[in-house]
Amino acid sequence: MRNDWEAVIGLEVHAQLSTESKIFCGCSTRFGDEPNANTCPVCLGLPGALPVLNRRAVELAARAALALGLRINRRSIFARKNYFYPDLPKGYQISQYDQPFSEHGELEIMTAVRDAEGHAREWRPKKIRITRLHLEEDAGKNMHEGLPDTDRYSYVDLNRAGTPLIEIVTEPDFRSSWEAYDYVNHVRQTLRWIGASDADMEKGNLRCEANVSVRRKGEERFGTKVELKNLNSVRFMQRAIEYEIERQIGVLESGGSVVQETRLWDDRAGETRPMRSKEEAHDYRYFPEPDLPPLVVTDEFIARVRAEMPELPSARRQRFMDQYGLAFNDAAQLTTDRALADYFERAAQAANNARAAANWVRTELLRELEASKTEVESCPITPENLGALIRLIDQGRISGKQGKEVFAEMFATGKSAEEIVRQRGLEQVSDVAEIERLVEQAIAANPKQVEQYRAGKEGLLGFFVGQVMKASQGRANPKIVNELLRAKLNG
Amino acid sequence: MLITEADIEKLATLARLEITEEERRALTPQIASIIAYVEQLNELDTSEVEPAIGGLTPEGERTPTMRDDEVRPSLGQKVALEEAPDPALGYFRVPKVL
């Protein structure tokens, strides 16, 4: 971004809550079923059907609100947001408007500027104000392609209609596309961590929209904002915002003015385009939903949700740094996912060596999991077995190099380190008497080299080490070999 | 509350209704009189009354506030589409949008 300009960005994130049934009826929320199979009079909007709120959706929304630093209102009300679209069978969406579920959040995220390759430079904390987090129902899905005669028809699948969502709205607190990127990743990670949402953007159960404007540095007033949609991944969102900032600066610098509109990101073309709007009369005529009573939550309810909350990723990352002496990047990598963080911590305890456990998990383990498309939960090496492998290395019973071979076999077979070391006869010989015998053999067999060594050619020590290792088939503990050779040759 | 022809035009747009100029002229005073009728309620002092927001059955009983997260049988695709004017391939088919 050019130096004398500043971007002002606000974000709206929609996340699908991980419930079994819909927010106002008992239809399944399962993804991928036959179109319109999971529908009933309530989610089809048939006359006379009445919505009843799903308790679990409220619990998950409360968890999300607390984890993102919002205050939960003891009383909130549902409202109808009226508009016509084929994926909205009732002609209104049940949402919340002037008395939302939770408000006034403040969230600290870690953010970093990126270099040209997208690598983070220096991480620093930044506070983001969250305006509100409210409950609402999702709409169905319109299909515009892949079916017959889509030049004339659209097709509607209402399986998703009525799926519980939370909408999380921030204040315009982001000043760059990377801050927005780091925020959405933080929210995504947190929602997954606390089990509130799968937050999978590919499946559409996490969606975001960005409001972007620019202004000259020092200017207090906001510029005209543009709403960005069709941001199907966090990376797309970052690119779309970046493009949009430059576009707006270009328009303003050439004397034009920014038009308030909705633009769609086209990732293939790498640009945003105005959404074709048919007389977009945005007048939702919100009014209180007469079919639902106010949503009242008690102090006991909030206390219970708080008590059930796991240690959050940012707290855990800090603890990994404090307790195990890990660097920020390493601790951050190990806390991207709760199962991974649990795995590391169990391995670290079993190994009694947290740094080694961190290294093994971050490099070997993640590589193998990635290569075999395995989730950490179904990793063939238990954290206890990885810990035991690390102990074998730390005790000098096998070398680090052998450790990697054993690790590969553990991953392939699920066997323990001990078992593999025993079967393959890998264990290092650390028996001093045994090594001493080999050292004496090596000295006796090479009198010339002994003479040269004693005359000052100390580099020959490596030659003797090699002889002993060869005689032991690589199994002698190198440290003991070195010590004994030195003692004998010098003596 | 003053109701103009422009308000009627906007309402028609929001309701996706096509109305003729003649209908617009006829509807404007009719809707104005309906609103005036409802506005009589404003004469009552309700400042001490808690607003009744939703959740009452026609008999005045409170509706259940929450339900457990349990899946109940749905109608299924066939029944869901039975009353649809133009179903196709398991979907509701509509004139092209977008």
Q: Does A82 touch chain B (CB under 8 A)?
A: yes
* A291 inside 8 A of chain B by CB: yes
Q: Which residue of B has its CA nearest to A278?
A: B98
Q: What is the DSSP letter of A248?
A: H
pLDDT for A71 equals 97
Q: What are phi and psi of B77, to 5 degrees?
A: -60, -45
| Chain B interface includes A77 (CB < 8 A) | yes
pLDDT score of A281 more than 60: no
pLDDT tens digit string along A228-278?
988 888 999 999 999 999 999 999 999 999 998 889 999 888 899 888 654
CATH architecture for the domain at B5-43: Orthogonal Bundle (1.10)
CB B68 within 8 A of CB B45: no
Provide the percentage of residues in chain A whose pLDDT is more than 90: 67
Identify the pLDDT of residue A247. Answer: 95
Express each pLDDT in A398-455 by its tens digit.
888 888 888 988 999 989 988 888 887 777 777 778 888 888 888 888 889 888 988 8
Region A39-49: what's the mean pLDDT? Answer: 95
Prediction pTM value: 0.84
3 state SS of A151: coil
Residue B92: closest CA among chain A residues belongs to which residue? Answer: A156
Residue A279 pLDDT class (50, 70, 90 cuts): very low
> Measured between alpha carbons, how far is A124 from A116 in angstroms, rounded to an integer?
19
Distance CA(A491)–CA(B11), nearest Å, equals 105
Q: Which of A303-312, A429-438, A476-485 has the largest mean confidence?
A: A303-312
* Structural contact between residues B75 and B83, judged by C-beta atoms closer than 8 angstroms: no
Note the pLDDT tens digit of each residue in A192-232.
Answer: 999 999 998 888 889 999 999 999 998 889 999 999 988 88
* Beta carbons of A73 and A100 less than 8 angstroms apart: yes
A-chain residues within 8 Å CB-CB of B66?
A: 52-55, 58
With a CB cutoff of 8 Å and minimum separation 6, the contacts of A227 are A209, A210, A211, A261, A262, A263
Are A54 and A25 in contact by the 8 Å Cβ rule? The answer is: no
Chain A positions in Cβ-Cβ contact with residue B95 (cut-off 8 Å): 152-154
Cα A485 to chain centroid distance, Å, stands at: 52
- C-alpha span between A275 and A273 (Å, rounded): 6
Asked if A362 is an interface residue toward chain B (Cβ–Cβ < 8 A), one would say no
Tell me: domain A432-490, CATH 1.10.10.410, correct? yes
Sign, CA dihedral A18-A24-A26-A27, equals negative
Least confident of A146-160, A390-404, B6-20: A390-404
Cβ-Cβ contacts under 8 Å, A291 against chain B: 54-55, 63
Which residues on A lie below 8 Å from B92 (Cβ)? 36, 86, 155-156, 158
pLDDT confidence of residue A418? 86
Contact at 8 Å (CB) between A216 and A252?
A: no
Whether residue A21 contacts residue A28, with contact meaning beta carbons closer than 8 Å, is answered with yes
In this complex, is the C-beta atom of A290 within 8 Å of any C-beta atom belonging to chain B?
yes
Mean pLDDT of A96-109: 96
User: Does B70 sit within 8 Å of A26, measured CB to CB?
Assistant: yes
Q: Which residue intervals of B1-98 are DSSP H helices?
A: 5-14, 21-39, 77-81
Angstrom distance (rounded) from CA A35 to CA B78: 10
Residue A1's pLDDT is what?
A: 62
B66-67 vs A53-54, strand pairing mode: parallel
Residues of B in contact with A295 (CB under 8 A): 65
What integer pLDDT is reported at residue A139 of this predicted model? Answer: 96
Segment A448-470 mean pLDDT: 87
Of A38, A281, A293, the CB nearest to B65: A293
pLDDT score for A58: 97
The answer to whether the beta carbons of residues A471 and A429 sit under 8 Å apart is: no
Among A44, A160, A41, A147, which Cα is nearest to B89's?
Answer: A147
Quick check: B54 contacting A, CB < 8 Å?
A: yes
Report pLDDT digits (tens) over A45-94. Answer: 999 899 999 999 999 999 999 999 999 999 999 999 998 899 999 999 99
How many angstroms separate the CA atoms of A482 and A464, rounded?
A: 9
Parts of chain B with a pLDDT under 70: 57-58
Rounded to whole angstroms, how far apart are CA atoms A25 and A458? Answer: 83
The predicted structure's pLDDT at residue A191: 96
- pLDDT value at position A468? 86
How far from chain centre, in Å, is Cα A153? 38
Structure tokens at A101: 């579920």
From residue B96, give the alpha-carbon distance in Å to each of A31, A270, A488, B14: 24, 27, 91, 19
Size of interface A-B (CB pairs under 8 A): 146
In whole numbers, what is the pLDDT of chain A averaged over residues? 91
Range ranked top by mean pLDDT from A21-35, A472-486, B3-17: A21-35
Domain ranges of chain A: 5-300, 311-424, 432-490
- What pLDDT is stored for residue A469 in this prediction? 83
Cβ-Cβ contacts under 8 Å, A21 against chain B? 69-72
ipTM, two decimals, is 0.87
For residue A292, the chain B residue with the least C-alpha distance is: B55
pLDDT of residue A276: 66
Q: Does B52 touch chain A (CB under 8 A)?
A: no
pLDDT confidence band for A486 (50 / 70 / 90): confident
Which residues 6+ apart lie within 8 Å of A437 measured at CB? none
